[in-house]
Amino acid sequence: MSTPETSVDLIPASAFSFEELTEAYNNTRVDYMVPMPMNAARLREYVKTYDVDMGCSVVAVDGNEVLGLAMLGVRERRAWITRLGIIRSKRRQGTGWRLVTHLLDQARQKKVDRVMIEVIKNNVPAHNLFRKAGFCETRELLVLRRPPGPVKIEPPPAEIKTLGYPEAVHLLENRASTPSWIDERESLINAGNLGAFYALLADGSKGWLVYQNTVFQLGRLVIQTDEGDPLNVGRALLHHLHSVHPAQDTKTENLPKDDPHWPAFQEVGYLEVFDRVEMKLQLK
């Protein structure tokens, strides 16, 4: 990797408007392997939902030209690198390395213990960049989508209770699985509009589902089996979710590929959009 030109400056993202940051971000994603267009309102919401520290986040500029940017989410004892991108003409010149090392320096100043990142599977340059910085792979995560429509499978016999926002938050506080940054309790609370169901199955299995319900889309699904068969618990909860909300599109991110509920998602019509590789770096 070549040494970046000395004319490249790193400026805190807080010095830019959301409109300027949106334009910069979209310019870095013109040829990205998974298109993720952004507008200013969505970026503002993203920053709030994921606790992005705009003072720690950074934009790389050369004179009046924005070369790239990268953002840092910060929570207690941990940080998350996100929205890293370089415009096509300036890649492989060291700017990405400077952005990553700068964010790691910021994370150390915040006294975090670990830093997380998700890289789209088969994005080899990004994967290699983070491995060079010391990150190690932890697991594969699935981004899933389900179009509106009825569920075609027959659910197992179950009593399902509808729960409100306080109960949903309580369930998340007692989650047994390891969340990614995107579906951590803090992210879901920041996102809002949470609902939940609790299922008691005839075979003795039981478990719960927390989800976000917006006007046009369901998302941020978190599912847990407290006892019994995860496949049947998943079938019962997901069938009920889409029976109650048959007209809404559904998108959920970062379900671990080895999650025992994944087969139930497939049975009720979820499609795998793409995979991410989660990576972590221990600082302490």
Same domain as 157, residue 229: yes
One-character DSSP codes across 192-211: --EEEEEEEETTS-EEEEEE
Phi, psi of 190 (to 5 degrees): -60, -35
Same domain as 101, residue 23: yes
Is 120 among the domain residues? no
Same domain as 148, residue 104: no
Instruction: State pLDDT tens for residues 175-210.
Output: 999 999 999 999 999 999 999 999 999 999 999 999
How many CA atoms lie less than 13 Å away from 187 in the CB half-sphere? 21
Pure H helices in 50-118: 95-109
> What's the token pair of residue 5?
């030109």
| Domains held by the chain: number | 2
Is 78 among the domain residues? yes
Is 138 among the domain residues? no
Amino acid at 208: W
Is 135 among the domain residues? no
What pLDDT does 4 receive? 43
What pLDDT does 33 receive? 64
Which residue segment(s) compose the domain that 51 sits in?
8-112
CATH of the domain at 21: 3.40.630.30
Say which DSSP state 157 is in: S
> What's the token pair of residue 269?
């019509």
Same domain as 265, residue 156: yes
Give, in order, the Cα–Cα distances in Å from 283 to each of 77, 79, 110, 111, 186.
10, 10, 11, 9, 22
**Segments of the chain with pLDDT less than 50:** 1-5
Same domain as 39, residue 160: no
Is 2 among the domain residues? no
Phi, psi of 276 (to 5 degrees): -120, 155
Question: In whole angstroms, what is the distance from residue 47 CA to residue 78 CA?
Answer: 16
SS3 content of the chain, % helix, strand, coil (to 5): 30, 35, 30
Q: Which sign does the torsion angle of CA 36, 183, 122, 260 carry?
A: negative
What pLDDT does 35 receive? 65
Amino acid at 276: R
Is 1 among the domain residues? no
* DSSP-derived 3-state class of residue 165: helix
Count of other CB atoms within 10 angstroms of residue 26:
17
What pLDDT does 37 receive? 79
Helix (H) or strand (E) holding 89: none
**Strand boundaries in 4-47, DSSP class E:** 8-12
Stated pTM of the model: 0.92
Instruction: State pLDDT tens for residues 6-34.
Output: 588 999 999 999 999 999 999 888 776 67
Is 139 among the domain residues? no
Same domain as 56, residue 153: no
What pLDDT does 2 receive? 44
> What's the token pair of residue 264?
């139930």
Is 39 among the domain residues? yes
Phi, psi of 182 (to 5 degrees): -65, -35
* Whether 4 contacts 93, CB under 8 Å: yes
